[in-house]
Amino acid sequence: MSQEGYDKLVAELHQLESVELPQVREAIAEARDKGDLSENFEYHAAKREQSRLLGRIRFKQRVLANARVIDMSKLGNGSVQLLSQVEMTNLANNARMTYTIASPHEANLREGKISIKSPIAQALLNKNVGDVVEVRVPAGLLKLRIESVK
């Protein structure tokens, strides 16, 4: 994953552990003070929220424990690979698009980052500028020409 993605994940984990989890624990304590727990909706809702938060924290900790930050300076510019920015043209309608091939944890279409596990990224991997690739997507078959790789 990129250094930016790693840093964002670390910040998100810190936010969950230091801000959100203490708030939920405080809500549980308040609800517990109100008496009978068997019919206390606030208590059960706070416990569910705590369970959800702990699950997210464990997931992010596992991702960080297994993450490898890729040094961008050591990547080659020749072919499409992880963290490559690829400009391509859809040959059906001549629409140009630019995507960055990212790890699944960093993928965000609004930011122009597609997962390396997506069909388009899988078809583009190890291809060079000028290559035409065919990609089977849910909408049908796409023909894409690679214009540039950065």
pLDDT tens by residue, 35-65: 776 777 888 888 899 999 999 999 999 989 9
- pLDDT number for residue 74: 66
Q: Which two tokens stand for residue 150?
A: 């950065």
Question: Model pTM greater than 0.85?
Answer: no
pLDDT tens by residue, 82-141: 888 899 999 889 899 999 998 888 888 899 999 999 998 999 988 888 889 999 888 888
- pLDDT number for residue 105: 86
- pLDDT number for residue 16: 92
Instruction: State yes or no: pLDDT of 26 exceeds 80.
Output: yes
CA angle 92, 97, 100 (to 5 degrees): 135
- How far apart CA 92 and CA 73 sit, in angstroms, is 35
- pLDDT number for residue 34: 78
Kindly state the DSSP code that residue 150 receives in the 8-state scheme: -
| Mean pLDDT computed over 56-80 | 82
Strands 132-137 and 113-115: unpaired
- pLDDT number for residue 75: 63
Residue 54: HSE in the Cβ half-sphere, 13 Å Cα cutoff: 8
Beta strands in the chain (DSSP E): 85-90, 95-102, 113-115, 132-137, 140-149
Q: Are the C-beta atoms of residues 116 and 59 closer than 8 Å to each other? A: no
Q: Model confidence at 68, in pLDDT bands (50, 70, 90)?
A: confident
